[in-house]
Structure 1
Amino acid sequence: MSDLPFGFSSSSGDDDGKDKNAGASGDGGPGNTGPQNPFGFGGAGFDPSAGLDPSALGQMFSQLGQMFSGMGTSMSGSGAAGPVNYQLAANLARQQIGNFTPVLEKENKAVADAVRLADVWLDDVTTFPGGVSKAVAWTPVQWLDETLPTWKGLCNPVATQLAGTWQQNLPPEAAQFAGPMMGMLTQMSGMAFGTQLGQGLGQLAKEVLTSTDVGLPLAPEGVAVLLPEAIATFADGLGLPAQEIIVFLAAREAAHVRLFTHVPWLRQRLLSTVEEYARGISIDFSGITDMTANIDPTELFSDPSKLEELISSSATFEPTTTPEQKAALDRLETLLALIEGWVENVVTQALSDRIPSTSALVETMRRRRASGGPAEQTFATLVGLELRPRKSREAAALWRSLFEATDVATRDKVWEHPDLLPDADDLDNPARFVERFIGGDSEIDSAIAELEKSLAAEAERDSAADDSADKSDESDDPDDTPGDPGR
């Protein structure tokens, strides 16, 4: 497309406007990870060079050299501490992003106009009021910098558990001898995770269209974000009016922001489900004894490559999935599908009579997800979860069925409490959920009654506490103290 409206620039132009300070260009893709393979742990082992250009690989080995020379002393920089080396992850991601087009003021205005228009149309199809306080355009590097805090919250529980499990399962002899080097082992583990994360985020930053493209609220609360450069690439070849594409994506972003703003428990629910998964991580280390049996401990000091080989080999141990973990992953998958399905439902309602290409764009987004888009790749890498397209499609069908059988208010009421949400079985049989919900199912009635009872009890306690405080103040008032007969 040679001319996008709303001030958006085409992706097919020359590179004169590229940011030359963005770092060396790198075209490497994310690491070879797949579902149930968090942080690249799996049968293929950890490959630090996968998808990296020579300068990125050199940076990793430079940090590795610092650790060996310090023999376990802490690396400089706050990003190097902790279960994941986020400093390394950010640097590798920026190198993978390469050159990028800076955001122009007209693009910021274009995003604000598109989101404002979409928000007006969304007012008619949902009871949730507008949640956007600011609409902006981001470059890929801005997306990386602004969303990294949220990625830390997602990655830390998984990485911490994996690193702790590795250390706790060292053979006693190896653990005793490695004691002085444990700090270095922790840093190497953080580097492994940081490298994997950097590869994933670097690729993701170039592909995401909005801040909620992966289903999570990655931008600050109330901020709607579109990424013009990625949108221009996405629009190329679709054969659809560019203005309609931009307003459609703005409507999806605004709908996500409404949901996350007015369902206060939703954001934390997503993060806590990842933590539930992380707490159950365990790895079968039965083979580590054989691996270390032929290693002379003194070699670990005299030949650092032996230690590197030991750490790398440990990445081939497959994490085992417990029933508790599988349940947590099912809940996370279902919740993300419900979010995506609700957004698709309200956006289709809002735009179908106004934008002719709405149906085609909805199907394009479904195919994008089905072909292994950024959301699937990211979750498969970070938490071992592959979002199944079937779930999102069925969630959209459930929300549509509920709306057709009731109204907007009833559909949106489902988000009032986590206990009211459909589960995985309901996605397989949406008609049953609709019948249960509108037919006064005892479980739903009980959940609503319990919620109302809890709110009433809390209000009563607050009222009693206020009355008690007032009486206490009155009893302490010297003017109300009975006179002393002896006065």
Structure 2
Amino acid sequence: MSGNDPLNPENFDLQKLLAQLSQMFGAGGGGLFGPQGDPWDQATKVAVAIASESGAEPNVEPADRIAIEDLARVADMYARQRPGVSLADGVTIAAVSRRTWTTDAVAAYKPFFDRFSEAVSENGSTELTLDDDLSPEEAAILGPMSQMFGQMLSQLAPTMVITSAGAMLGHLGQRVIGSYDLPIPRPGKVVQVVPAGMKEVAEATGAPLREVQMFVLIHELIAHSVLSVPHVADRLESLYLDFASAFRPNPDALMGDLGNITDLAQIAELSAKMADGNAMLNSMRTKTHDLLVPQLDALVAAVLGFVENATMAACAKLMTGHPAIRDALRARRVNASDPENFMEKLLGLNIDDATLERGESFIAGIIERAGDAGLERLWADQLDLPTPAEVDAPGLWLARIGIGEDGDASSSFEIPDDLSGLDDH
């Protein structure tokens, strides 16, 4: 081995390397991931600071709040008129600041991050795979290190993801419009909208602010109606949690980077790489994710397609600029920044133009074949939720649930009131 080979025992100082790694990764109360303590407290502070531009964001103007409350009554009425929309009594609209939205979002999304942390921690004992052609000297060094780095990764990964979660939710809070910018069920009956975000859309499109506000209010109410259906919420949350639970530590990838480390500067490069939440998630994907993606993609497409179609139909009775508003909101959703994409990668969300077009085509196919009757059945029963194949072929879904081309329920067998008329065989 060469004189510069880090695996040469004469050049390798294991204790020094461990001390440097410990310092970089925050042991002793400082380092890359900040002071020790509840990482969620730190994540919330980071998220709020980013979303509110370090506290510079003003509170919601009383005039804006009153105007939105007035529009909300009209939006509620038009949303409830759409087939397939079932809003519970007592649902209210709250105009909030980005700071408030972000604080509540951290609490709402915490269960998904917790599930990820549990999965990584519980499966962190995986040992690294050592090359068969290692010399005895190299094996003597890398062998003990393999277990150490497997354990270290399982301990660090949850903290790194929580730290990234704070930054991600902060950046999402800077651009947020309402509770359902991401199709994730939220508890309670309060639907949040962010006036500052709606003003940005109005400025970008040139549409009257009141039209943008009405569009967003109707959209958020319809999204709430779907994502509050118990079996829809349960199915989506189950898929999201299963996806977050499927990540596994990948210490082999870490050891591949460690092979060239000889000084503190290179450790700093490695620590920066490990602090990248997106890179960390990519390195921990498993085959289980490949099985979940088709189910998630299909259900998310169906939900988004229904919400957009119902919103457009309701807004068509109230305004003429709704297509431009829809396009602007689509662009904001699709053109997300890297921090915003982190949440989607954690839960398996893949919202792009293809997803939106798939959902749009599915809903259009239902309306074409069965009209309002088809839409009324979409969220009516857990067994009626469409499969991935049916989202691509709405006729298959209608046939399975027993609705004919004219929208009438069809059945080849009628259940009798009693058994007296049946032959005894």
With the length of structure 1 as denominator, give the TM-score of the two structures: 0.64
| Matching residue's letter, 2:69 | A
**TM superposition shift of 1:249:** 0.5
Query: Which residue does 1:427 correspond to in 2?
Result: 391
Cα distance in 2 for partners of 1:68, 1:152 equals: 24
Which of the residues 45, 50, 61 maps onto 1:104?
61
Which of the residues 195, 201, 206 maps onto 1:239?
206
Q: Give ranges in structure 1 of 5+ residues lacking alignment.
A: 1-60, 453-487
**TM superposition shift of 1:221:** 1.6
Alignment partner of 1:136: what SS?
Answer: strand
**TM superposition shift of 1:109:** 2.4
Which of the residues 228, 234, 246 maps onto 1:280?
246
Q: 1:125 to 1:294 in 2, by over 3 A?
A: closer
**TM superposition shift of 1:314:** 9.6
**TM superposition shift of 1:438:** 4.8
Q: Give ranges in structure 2 of 5+ residues lacking alignment.
A: 1-22, 129-141, 416-425
| Matching residue's letter, 1:271 | E
Q: 1:118 to 1:62 in 2, by over 3 A?
A: farther
Q: 1:310 to 1:252 in 2, by over 3 A?
A: closer
Match status 1:397 vs 2:397 = no
Query: Which residue does 2:177 correspond to in 1?
Result: 209
Contact 2:30 2:36 survives alignment (8 Å): no
Alignment partner of 1:225: what SS?
Answer: strand
| Matching residue's letter, 2:302 | L
Cα distance in 2 for partners of 1:144, 1:380 equals: 16
Query: Which residue does 1:121 correspond to in 2?
Result: 78
Kindly provide the CA deviation profile for residues 55-85 of structure 1, in whole angstroms up to 9, marking residues without a partner as x: xxxxxx999364369xxxx944xxx2xxxx2
Alignment partner of 1:286: what SS?
Answer: helix
Match status 1:90 vs 2:56 = no
Cα distance in 1 for partners of 2:153, 2:250 equals: 19
Which of the residues 64, 85, 88 maps onto 2:26?
64
Contact 1:281 1:320 survives alignment (8 Å): yes
Match status 1:348 vs 2:319 = no
Query: Which residue does 2:117 correspond to in 1?
Result: 159
**TM superposition shift of 1:136:** 0.9
Contact 2:198 2:209 survives alignment (8 Å): no
Query: Which residue does 2:19 correspond to in 1?
Result: none
| Matching residue's letter, 2:144 | E
**TM superposition shift of 1:305:** 9.7
Which of the residues 157, 160, 164 maps onto 1:192?
160
Query: Which residue does 2:381 correspond to in 1?
Result: 417
**TM superposition shift of 1:189:** 3.5
Which of the residues 136, 140, 144 maps onto 1:173?
144
Q: 1:172 to 1:343 in 2, by over 3 A?
A: same
Kindly provide the CA deviation profile for residues 327-373 of structure 1, in whole angstroms up to 9, marking residues without a partner as x: 21222222222111111121122221321112332233333333337
**TM superposition shift of 1:412:** 2.2
Kindly provide the CA deviation profile for residues 239-279 of structure 1, in whole angstroms up to 9, marking residues without a partner as x: 21221111011000111122233x11222222211222233
Q: 1:213 to 1:175 in 2, by over 3 A?
A: same
Query: Which residue does 1:477 correspond to in 2?
Result: none
**TM superposition shift of 1:436:** 4.9
Cα distance in 1 for partners of 2:181, 2:257 equals: 42
**TM superposition shift of 1:87:** 1.8
Matches within 5 A, 1:431-446: 431-434=395-398, 436-439=400-403
Cα distance in 1 for partners of 2:328, 2:117 equals: 34
Contact 1:226 1:250 survives alignment (8 Å): yes
Which of the residues 196, 205, 208 maps onto 1:229?
196
Q: 1:176 to 1:260 in 2, by over 3 A?
A: closer
| Matching residue's letter, 2:77 | V
**TM superposition shift of 1:380:** 3.5
